[in-house]
């Protein structure tokens, strides 16, 4: 294994796995820290954790365990994969996890860059932009679990870390890898600007031989070339059969996707009250879903004011846990009843679905949209999965993903 990735959620894991696979690497996505050794022919292993919103101590423990396993598989470089919107809070866990990983590896001058211009994420003058808006004005300021109200990544990370946080500006990045390397600090971290995908390739060159990096999936664009690996299109064998769409993301993009797909397919909305009070159950929902002629939509994607009201009524944790538990149970019921194509929107919802499916490893197929591959859960009856981060994909993503799962590539 050349590259080991520690991802703080499941959609982010499949996102960076796709980036590495399209760059020519043999990649496997693992669900949690594996108990056994990986296949020796893998170029990259991506360990998907559910740590993004976990308490810092838990996130550190799980991330260090993943790091140790990846190192035992021969990984020469570790990437701590976080969301491209750097999802955290003032007392979040990105800084503590990064501190622990850098201490474990003895890494200094660590590059930190969540940018991915193809997906509308760029870093300029140390500030994170979503399309043409500052992160703090992009809608992320209303995220129910990790509201991002400061776009200056230097301040965000410095508030969480005991190590110094520096900055490598866009003009330096545009001068190329040698200039980036020369500007990296001797200790701590460097928020590195990137406004073009070309910048990420130069950052990748600058990271050759680095023990640790931190960023979104774009940070991996230039890394495989450091190991003399050339790009190749991932293959896919068609998977046909009943399908369903599960959506728990409350992002603007997903809410639009929900509205578009509701015009095409049967749909059921799950409210926080129904999930908490148990007035809906996974067995009944799955039974309803499996008799529909078109893959149905089951969703809890609500506007920020509705989410806030539910949190005020039931408590943030209680509402979130109830909905995630329902989606986990629903995924298991759908698979047991013969579902073979499942599209999931939202990082927490994807984590719940994967848990319900008892997945341990996923094969990486071609892209469904920027940052979203089709995945195969292999067992007696393979299941095609799409684990979509809330803000990814165009308005027709749900229907397009289900269709592409049935097409070999």
169 and 52 co-located in one domain: yes
255 and 331 co-located in one domain: yes
Q: Please tell me the total number of residues recorded for the chain in this structure.
A: 409
233 part of a folded domain = no
295 and 387 co-located in one domain: yes
Question: Rounded to an integer, what distance in angstroms lies between the CA atom of residue 387 and that of residue 260?
Answer: 18
Which among 112, 23, 31, 104 has a CA at the least distance from the CA of 61? 104
Question: Rounded to an integer, what distance in angstroms lies between the CA atom of residue 129 and that of residue 9?
Answer: 21
pLDDT of 46 reads 97
User: Could you give the 3-state DSSP secondary structure of residue 78?
Assistant: strand
291: CB partners within 8 A, 6+ apart: none
Average pLDDT, the chain: 92
Question: Rounded to an integer, what distance in angstroms lies between the CA atom of residue 343 and that of residue 245?
Answer: 5
138 and 212 co-located in one domain: yes
235 part of a folded domain = no
Question: Rounded to an integer, what distance in angstroms lies between the CA atom of residue 52 and that of residue 10?
Answer: 10
234 part of a folded domain = no
pLDDT of 400 reads 97
**If you count DSSP H runs as helices and E runs as strands, how many of each does the chain have, helices first?**
14, 18
CB 218, CB 139: distance < 8 Å: no
Domain boundary among 227, 252, 275: 227
161 and 31 co-located in one domain: yes
236 part of a folded domain = no
Strand-by-strand arrangement of the 127-130 sheet: 121-124, 127-130, 133-134
238 part of a folded domain = no
pLDDT of 380 reads 67
The backbone torsions φ and ψ at residue 283, rounded to the nearest 5 degrees and listed phi first, read: -65, -45
Which among 279, 282, 270 has a CA at the least distance from the CA of 320? 270
pLDDT digits (tens, 9 = 90+) for 143-183: 766 776 788 899 999 999 999 999 999 999 999 999 999 99
pLDDT of 147 reads 76
254 and 198 co-located in one domain: no
- Structural domain count of the chain: 2
Which among 41, 191, 25 has a CA at the least distance from the CA of 123? 191
pLDDT of 304 reads 67
237 part of a folded domain = no
DSSP lists the bridge partners of residue 189 as: 110, 165
348 part of a folded domain = yes
158 part of a folded domain = yes
Where residue 81 sits, what CATH number does that domain have?
Answer: 3.40.50.10840
Q: Count other C-beta atoms under 10 Å from residue 293's C-beta.
A: 7
pLDDT digits (tens, 9 = 90+) for 95-150: 999 999 999 999 999 999 999 998 889 999 999 998 888 877 777 776 766 776 78
42 and 69 co-located in one domain: yes
DSSP lists the bridge partners of residue 372 as: 369
Task: Provide the token pair at 159.
Answer: 């508030």
Question: Rounded to an integer, what distance in angstroms lies between the CA atom of residue 374 and that of residue 176?
Answer: 33
Domain boundary among 182, 203, 227: 227
400: CB partners within 8 A, 6+ apart: 368, 369, 394
Residues of the chain with pLDDT under 70: 89-90, 142, 144-145, 148, 304, 316, 380
209 and 305 co-located in one domain: no
290 and 185 co-located in one domain: no
Domain boundary among 227, 261, 294: 227
Three-class secondary structure assignment of 121-157: EEEECCEEEECCEEHHHCCHHHCCCCCCCCCEHHHHH
pLDDT digits (tens, 9 = 90+) for 358-380: 999 999 999 999 889 999 998 76
Do the strands 77-81 and 121-124 form a parallel or antiparallel pair, or are they unpaired?
Answer: unpaired
282 and 168 co-located in one domain: no
Burial of 220 (0-12, 13-18, 19+ CB in 10 A): buried
299 and 358 co-located in one domain: yes
Question: Rounded to an integer, what distance in angstroms lies between the CA atom of residue 236 and that of residue 253?
Answer: 27
123 and 260 co-located in one domain: no
Question: Rounded to an integer, what distance in angstroms lies between the CA atom of residue 85 and that of residue 77?
Answer: 23
Where residue 292 sits, what CATH number does that domain have?
Answer: 3.40.980.20
User: Could you give the 3-state DSSP secondary structure of residue 84?
Assistant: coil
Q: What is the pTM of this model?
A: 0.84
- Helix (H) / strand (E) element for 110: namely strand 110-113
Domain membership of residue 276 as a residue range? 243-405
């Amino acid at each position: 294994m050349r590259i080991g990735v520690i991802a703080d959620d499941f959609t982010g894991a499949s996102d960076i796995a796709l980036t590495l696979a399209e760059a020519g690497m043999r990649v496997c996505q693992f669900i949690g820290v594996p108990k056994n050794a990986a296949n020796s022919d893998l170029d990259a292993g991506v360990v998907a954790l559910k740590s993004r919103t976990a308490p810092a101590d838990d996130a550190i423990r799980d991330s260090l365990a993943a790091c140790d396993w990846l190192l035992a598989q021969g990984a020469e470089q570790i990437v701590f994969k976080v969301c491209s919107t750097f999802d955290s809070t003032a007392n979040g866990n990105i800084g503590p996890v990064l501190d622990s990983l850098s201490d474990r590896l003895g890494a200094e001058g660590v590059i930190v860059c969540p940018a991915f211009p193809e997906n509308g994420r760029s870093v300029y003058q140390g500030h994170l932009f979503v399309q043409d808006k500052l992160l703090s004005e992009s809608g992320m300021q209303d995220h129910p679990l990790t509201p991002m109200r400061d776009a200056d990544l230097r301040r965000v990370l410095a508030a969480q870390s005991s190590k110094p946080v520096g900055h490598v500006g866009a003009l330096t990045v545009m001068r190329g890898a040698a200039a980036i390397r020369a500007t990296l600090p001797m200790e701590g971290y460097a928020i590195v600007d990137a406004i073009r995908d070309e910048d990420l390739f130069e950052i990748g060159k600058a990271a050759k031989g680095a023990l640790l990096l931190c960023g979104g999936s774009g940070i991996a664009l230039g890394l495989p070339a450091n190991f003399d690996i050339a790009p190749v299109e991932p293959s896919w064998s068609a998977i046909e059969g009943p399908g369903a769409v599960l959506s728990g993301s409350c992002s603007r993009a997903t809410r639009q996707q929900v509205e578009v797909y509701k015009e095409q397919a049967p749909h059921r909305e799950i409210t926080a009250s129904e999930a908490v009070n148990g007035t809906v159950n996974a067995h009944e929902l799955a039974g309803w879903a499996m008799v529909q002629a078109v893959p149905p939509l089951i969703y809890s994607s609500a506007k920020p004011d509705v989410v806030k009201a539910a949190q005020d009524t039931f408590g943030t944790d209680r509402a979130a846990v109830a909905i995630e538990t329902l989606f986990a149970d629903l995924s298991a019921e759908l698979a047991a009843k013969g579902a073979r194509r499942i599209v999931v929107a939202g990082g927490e919802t994807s984590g719940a679905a994967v848990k319900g499916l008892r997945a341990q490893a996923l094969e990486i197929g071609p892209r469904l949209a920027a940052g979203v591959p089709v995945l195969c859960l292999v067992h007696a009856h393979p299941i095609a999965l799409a684990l979509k981060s809330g803000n990814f994909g165009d308005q027709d993503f749900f229907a397009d993903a289900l269709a592409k799962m049935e097409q070999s590539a």
